[in-house]
């Protein structure tokens, strides 16, 4: 079995991207921390032939839900206006504009997009995680990406100009 | 893994694939949480010394493994994952005291290590031999035959050689102080040069 340190080095950055895309800059690091602490505890029992990436994304999926629920219970009101970029986390970490458009997607689409395009999970496994069929997961990812292409300005676009 | 479609991949360029400051922050937080919850079974770090880079690994009981670079640190960590626990993280702070004492030893300011040791990686007669080695003082040497007698089995000279060769805690448990009866240094896990360096250091007044 590989030392857990190697799991963190190899897969930590991917899980952080997924957490950032699913829960946003403010809660991403909490979700990552909960994911890897939970993974460390369970690691000795992981079967030798397990797909480590899929295993980590499964844990991250559950922890992201927990973290968002806990955040919703916090007394601090969360800015709900999609027009204002959520830069409440660490603004240097990544572009708040991307989170603004990701956040506007239905949860199902945002997760399907993150798990497929950032974690490389097949649609069948995304369906096992999120419920529904593989085809439904494929459609959710495709719909999500289509919306992102129309709402997220590409780096060459002028800020504030929306492509149609 | 990136998206197969480059247009889609470009959507996520704002999300860094590798964010080193964030990973460093998160790693530190993971080590701290794991320590609090008692699930960090093996902490390790590397330390640069005059005999090369040493790998130092500790359990909650104490120092469990010291390895020279020639022993292949990655391979040693994989062995620890199998023999102790795969819950292994780089956690240099857990080995601050060990590192300080080793630095002092190489600076000639320490002749004895005062560290909790976890002996689990040696058993039986080998462990008896290694425990006896701790009684061979700084700057002194014993022959393999002398060690065999001291361990209660005068004829087990070869077994003493094996115990020294498989010492999980070289340097700290001073197998480098065991030499051949003809006075030549004999083998060493860290290589002959490392053994000479340590014996020369300890021979310096």
B107-143 pLDDT tens trace: 999 999 999 999 999 999 999 999 999 999 999 999 9
DSSP string, A39-56: HHHHGGGS-TT--HHHHH
| Residues B132, B102 share a domain | no
**Residues on chain B touching A145 (C-beta within 8 angstroms):** 8, 11
Residue A163 has a pLDDT of: 43
Residue B3 has a pLDDT of: 45
Q: What share of chain A is helix, strand, coil (3-state, %, to 5)?
A: 65, 0, 35
Contacts of B94 (CB under 8 A, 6+ apart): B35, B40, B43, B45, B58
Residue A96 has a pLDDT of: 74
Percentage of chain A modeled with pLDDT above 70 = 80
Residue B175 lies in a domain: yes
Domain count, chain A: 1
Does pLDDT of B50 surpass 70?
yes
Query: CB under 8 Å, gap of 24 or more: what pairs does A123-130 form?
Result: A125/A54, A129/A57, A129/A58, A129/A61, A130/A61
B175 is annotated as an active-site residue: yes
Domain count, chain B: 2
Measured distance CA(A78)–CA(B42) in Å, rounded: 40
Whether the CA torsion B149, B155, B159, B161 is positive or negative: it is: positive
**Cβ separation of B19 and A93 shorter than 8 Å?**
yes
Q: Residue B51 has which token pair?
A: 């005999």
Taking the CA of residue A36 and the nearest CA in chain B, the distance in Å comes to: 7
Candidate from A1-15, A43-57, B1-15 with smallest mean pLDDT: B1-15
Does pLDDT of A77 surpass 60?
no
Say which of B175, B189, B194, B198 is annotated catalytic: B175
Residue A79 lies in a domain: yes
Residue B8 lies in a domain: no
Nearest CA in chain A to B35: A37
Measured distance CA(B2)–CA(B145) in Å, rounded: 62
Nearest CA in chain B to A41: B39
Task: Provide the CATH number for the domain around residue A102.
Answer: 1.20.140
Does pLDDT of B63 surpass 60?
yes
CA distances from A7 to A29, B53, B64, B90 (A): 17, 23, 22, 12
Please give the mean pLDDT across all residues of chain B. 93
Provide the residue range defining the domain that includes A141. Answer: 4-151
Vertex B80 angle, CA B76 and B82, to 5°: 120
Task: Provide the CATH number for the domain around residue B132.
Answer: 1.10.10.10
Provide the residue range defining the domain that includes B161. Answer: 124-203
């Amino acid at each position: 079995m590989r030392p857990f340190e190697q799991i963190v080095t190899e897969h930590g950055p991917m899980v952080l991207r997924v957490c950032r895309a699913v829960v946003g800059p403010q809660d991403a690091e909490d979700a990552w921390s909960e994911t890897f602490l939970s993974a460390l505890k369970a690691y000795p029992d992981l079967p030798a032939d397990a797909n480590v990436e899929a295993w980590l994304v499964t844990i991250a999926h559950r922890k992201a839900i927990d973290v968002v629920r806990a955040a919703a219970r916090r007394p601090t009101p969360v800015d709900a206006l999609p027009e204002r970029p959520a830069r409440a986390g660490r603004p240097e970490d990544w572009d708040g504009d991307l989170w603004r458009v990701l956040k506007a997607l239905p949860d199902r689409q945002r997760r399907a997009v993150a798990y497929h395009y950032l974690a490389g999970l097949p649609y069948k496994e995304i369906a096992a995680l999120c419920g529904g069929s593989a085809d439904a997961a494929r459609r959710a990812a495709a719909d999500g990406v289509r919306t992102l292409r129309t709402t997220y300005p590409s780096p060459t676009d002028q800020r504030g100009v929306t492509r149609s | 893994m990136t998206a197969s479609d480059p247009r889609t991949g470009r959507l996520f360029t704002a999300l860094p694939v590798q964010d080193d400051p964030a990973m460093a922050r998160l790693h530190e937080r993971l080590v701290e949480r794991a320590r609090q919850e008692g699930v960090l079974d093996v902490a390790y770090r590397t330390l640069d010394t005059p005999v090369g880079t040493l790998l130092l690994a500790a359990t909650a009981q104490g120092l469990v493994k010291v390895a020279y670079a020639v022993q292949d640190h990655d391979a040693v960590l994989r062995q620890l994952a199998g023999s102790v626990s795969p819950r292994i993280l780089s956690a240099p702070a857990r080995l601050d005291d060990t590192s300080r004492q080793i630095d002092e030893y190489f600076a000639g300011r320490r002749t004895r290590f005062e560290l909790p040791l976890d002996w689990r990686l040696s058993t039986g007669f080998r462990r008896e031999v290694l425990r006896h080695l701790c009684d061979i003082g700084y700057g002194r040497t014993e022959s393999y035959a002398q060690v065999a007698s001291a361990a209660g089995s005068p004829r087990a000279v070869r077994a003493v050689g094996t115990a020294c060769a498989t010492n999980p805690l070289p340097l700290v448990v001073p197998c480098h102080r065991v030499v051949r009866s003809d006075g030549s240094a004999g083998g060493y896990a860290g290589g002959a040069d490392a053994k000479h360096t340590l014996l020369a250091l300890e021979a310096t007044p």
